[in-house]
Amino acid sequence: AEVNPVVAVVGGGLAGLAAAIEAYEAGATVYLFDKAKSLGGNSAKATSGINGAETSVQRDKGIQDKVEMFHGDVIRSGAGRSVPALVDVVAGRSADAVEWLMGDRFGLGLTAIAHCGGHSAPRTHRLPPLPDGRPVPVGFTTIKAVQGYLSSRPERVNIVTNAEVTRLLVAKDGAVTGLSYRRAAQGGGKGGQGETVEVAAGAVVLATGGYAFDRSPASLLSKYAPDKLHLATTSGPQATGDGVRLAEDLGAALVDMDQIQVHPTALVDPKDPTNLSKFLGPETMRGEGGILVDGTGKRFTNELATRIAVTEAIFKHGRPATRAADGSAVAAAGGVTPTVAFLIMNGAVAEKFGRGMLGFYKGKGLVTEVEDAAAAAALIGTDAATLAATLQQYARDAHAGAADAFGKVTFPVKDFSPDEPLFVAIITPAIHYTMGGVAIDAAGRVLRNAASGSAQEPIPRLFAAGEVSGGVHGGNRLAGNSLLECVVMGRVAGREAAAVA
Ligand code: FAD
C-alpha cells in the first residue's frame, strides 16, 4: 500500500505539469500520463506570453495595472459568459503565477512585457529575445523548465508517456478511484503495445487540453460547432477533447462547447496546404504593418480590424488554397481545403516585427522573401500591375492622414513600393482555442448537475484544469490568459487533489 496519497494527472501540458508539481509538493505520489511521446501539448506552442497584473516586472517598468482592471477585461471579453468566481481566482493569482515561474524552482526570465489586444494595460509577460535578435519561445521554454523540475524528483513522480487514458474508474458511491490507460504502439512494436493498465489513485486531475483537432463524425466539434469543421487549426493532433469525454462519462456538466476562437492568420505551408495543423501567424505581422491582399492582389479589409471582422473578410474575398482549373476547391483527403489570402510585409515591417523572428518563419517555408512586387504577384498567381497599384495606393492612403476605403486610420508603416523586397505569407483563418469544456468550481473540482433542482455538485475526487475546462474565458479568450489559467488552476487543482487523495 502507498504511504503517500496518490494523485494521477492526465495530460502533460502546462496545466498538468503545474498540477503535478503542486500535488508533489503537498506530499502526494504523482503519476502523470500523456498519450504523446513527449510532454508539452499546445502549451509548448505558445508564443505571446503569460498575463499577470501587479507583478514585480510591471512595477519595475512603471506600468500601472490593477487586478480589478484585468478582471474587468476578462469579463468584457467573455461577453457575459465567463464565470466570475473563476475569473476572481485566475486574475487574483496572476501575479503569483508569473512570480512562481520566475522564482527559484524554474528561474524563467519573464522580463519582457507586451500589450496585447483587449487588455487595458501591458501585462503579457514573455522572454526577451537573444542578443542576436532571435526570439525565445515562451511556451516551449516554460515546458522544458517545469518538466525538468518534475523529472528530477523520481522518488515520488512517475511520468508515463505514450499512455492514452481511456477510462476513469469509479466506486459505487460515484467517487473516482483511478484510471485505465492504454500503452500506445512503441517504435518497433515491442511487447506491451495496446495493453491496458489500471492505476488506483486517490484523486484524478484532467488536463488534456482542447478539442480543435478531431474532425470525425463523432467529434465534439461535429456535435457542438459543425460550422467550424472546415477550418484548419493551430492545435496539434493531440487536441481531441479526451478529458471532456472522460468527465462526461461520469456525468460532468459541460459549458460553452460551441464557443470557438478563430484566429484570422494561420500560416499555410505551400508544400502542404491541406494539413489540418498550422503554425500561427502572430497578430503582430498585421499589427506592425503587414498588408492583406486577395488572390487578385487587391486589398479587401482593414488589417487592424478585430479578429472576427478580418476572418469574415477573408472568407468573403479569399480563394481555396488548392483549386481546380475553374477555381473550385479541390477536396483534401484527411485535411481541409483552407480559404486563403496573402499577407505582405516589406523591410520596414520586418524591422518592427523582428528580423530574427521573421527568419524563423522563412526557415520553415511559411514566409517567402521575393525581390519585388512582380515576383510577389507571380507567387500569389496574379498580375504584377494589380499588386503594384495596390501597394502604391496603400502608400498614398497612409500619407493622406484620413481613413482609407476600408476604414483603416492607423498605418504602422506608410511607405510601400513595388520595387522593394517583400515578404509573402499565405494565410487562412484557423481554430485557435476551444473555450468550452467541463464545468469546474474555484477549487478545480469537476461539477455535475445534481439529481434534484438546478444546483451543481462536485464529482468526488475528480479535478480539471487548463483548456479541458470551461468557464474562465466565456465567449472569447484574451491573449496570454490560457497559460495563466494553466498555472493558476493547475496549481489549485493539484493542491486540492492531494488534500483529498
Ligand atoms: P495542452 O498543453 O494541450 O496539454 C494537453 C496534454 O494532454 C497533451 O500533451 C496531450 O498529449 C495530453 N492528452 C490529451 N488527451 C490525453 C489522454 N487521453 N491521455 C493522456 N494524455 C492526453 N496561450 C497563452 O496564454 N499565451 C500564448 O502565447 C499562447 N499561444 C498559443 C499559440 C498556439 C500556436 C496555440 C495553439 C495556442 C496558444 N495559446 C496561448 C493557448 C495555450 O497554449 C493552450 O491553450 C494551453 O497551453 C493549453 O494547455 P493545457 O495544459 O490545458 O493543454
pLDDT tops 50 at residue 354: yes
The percent helix, strand, coil of the chain (3-state, each to 5) is 30, 25, 45
pLDDT at 193: 64
- Cβ burial of 439 (10 Å; 0-12, 13-18, 19+) is buried
The ligand 1 atom at the shortest distance from the C-alpha of residue 14 is: 51
Which residue, judged by its Cα, is nearest atom 32 of ligand 1? Answer: 46
- What pLDDT does 188 receive? 47
Inter-CA distances, 277 with 99, 230, 233, Å: 33, 12, 5
* Span 461-483, average pLDDT: 97
C-beta neighbour count of 4 within 10 angstroms:
16
Is residue 279 within 8 A of residue 367, CB to CB? The reply is: no
Helix (H) / strand (E) containing 279: strand 279-280
Mean per-residue pLDDT over the chain, rounded: 94
Helix (H, G, I), strand (E, B), or coil: what is residue 434? strand
What pLDDT does residue 194 have?
A: 79
Of 65-74, 276-285, 432-441, the one with minimum mean pLDDT is 276-285
Residue 189 in this model has a pLDDT that exceeds 50: no
469 within 8 A of 438, measured Cβ to Cβ: yes
Closest residue by Cα to residue 338 from 362, 306, 314: 314
Kindly state the average pLDDT of the residues 338-345: 96
Of all protein residues, whose CA lies closest to atom 14 belonging to ligand 1? 208
Q: Which residues, other chains included, contact 42 with Cβ-Cβ below 8 Å and sequence gap of 6+?
A: 13, 139, 209, 210, 234, 235, 236, 238, 239, 467
What angle, 0 to 180 degrees and rounded to 10, lies between the N-to-C axes of helices 481-500 and 94-102? 90
* Mean pLDDT within 330-341: 81
What mean pLDDT do residues 270-278 have? 92
pLDDT in tens, 90-138: 999 999 999 999 999 999 999 999 988 899 999 999 999 888 878 899 9
Residue 108, phi then psi, degrees to nearest 5: -80, 130
CA separation for the pair 298, 330 (Å, rounded)? 23
Query: pLDDT tens for residues 12-59?
Result: 999 999 999 999 999 999 999 999 999 999 999 999 999 999 999 999
C-alpha of residue 210 to centroid of ligand 1, in Å: 7
CA distances to 88, 174, 428, 455, 465 from 442, rounded to whole Å, are 9, 21, 36, 15, 10
Concatenate the DSSP letters of all residues of 55-116 into one string.
-HHHHHTT----HHHHHHHHHHHTTT-S-HHHHHHHHHTHHHHHHHHHSTTT-----EEE--
Burial grade of 334 (CB within 10 A; 0-12, 13-18, 19 or more): exposed
The answer to whether 336 touches 431, Cβ cutoff 8 Å, is no
93 lines ligand 1 (CB under 6 A): no
CA 433 to ligand 1: nearest atom: 45
Q: Summarize pLDDT for 141-188 with one digit per residue, the tens.
A: 999 999 999 999 999 999 999 999 999 999 999 999 999 999 976 554
Which of 1, 170, 25 lies closest to 497 in space, CA to CA? Answer: 25
CA–CA distance, 204 with 463 (Å, rounded to integer): 6
pLDDT tens by residue, 417-470: 999 999 999 999 999 999 999 999 999 999 998 877 778 999 999 999 999 999
DSSP letters for 213-238: S--STTSHHHHH-GGGTTSEESS-TT
238 in contact with ligand 1, CB cutoff 6 A: yes
388 within 8 A of 418, measured Cβ to Cβ: yes
- Residues marked active site are found at 263, 286
High-pLDDT (> 90) share of the chain, %: 87
How much distance in Å is there from the Cα of 69 to the middle of ligand 1?
26
Residue from 362, 364, 363 nearest 350 by CA:
362
Instruction: Tell me what pLDDT residue 307 has.
Output: 86
Cβ atoms of 463 and 206 within 8 Å: the answer is: yes
Residue 57 CB–ligand 1 contact under 6 Å:
no
Ligand 1 atom nearest to CA at 40:
9
Beta carbons of 72 and 428 less than 8 angstroms apart: no
Ligand 1 binding pocket includes 45 (Cβ within 6 Å): yes
Band of residue 281 on the pLDDT scale cut at 50, 70, 90:
very high
Rounded distance between C-alpha atoms, residue 30 and residue 20, angstroms? 6
Give exposure, 107-139, as e/b (b: 16+ Cβ within 10 Å). Answer: ebebebbbebebbebbbbbbbeeeeeeebebbb
Q: What is the pLDDT of residue 254?
A: 98
Three-state secondary structure readout of 164-175: EEEEEEECCCCC
447 vs 15: CA distance, rounded Å: 18
Looking at residue 13, what DSSP letter applies?
S
Tell which one of 138, 181, 434, 482 to mutate to probe ligand 1, the residue whose CB is within 8 A of the most ligand atoms: 482
- Residue from 43, 115, 125, 160 whose mutation best tests the ligand 1 pocket (most atoms within 8 A of CB): 43
Cα distance between residue 63 and residue 487, in whole Å = 23
Instruction: Give the CB-side neighbour count of residue 60, counting CA atoms within 13 A.
Output: 8
Of 42, 1, 39, 3, the residue nearest 20 (C-alpha): 39
- Residue 247: its pLDDT value, please? 98
- The dihedrals phi and psi of 228, each to the nearest 5 degrees, come to -105, 0
Strand partners, 113: 125
* pLDDT on residue 192: 57
Classify the C-alpha dihedral 74-75-80-84 as positive or negative: positive
C-alpha closest to that of 257 among 217, 211, 207: 211
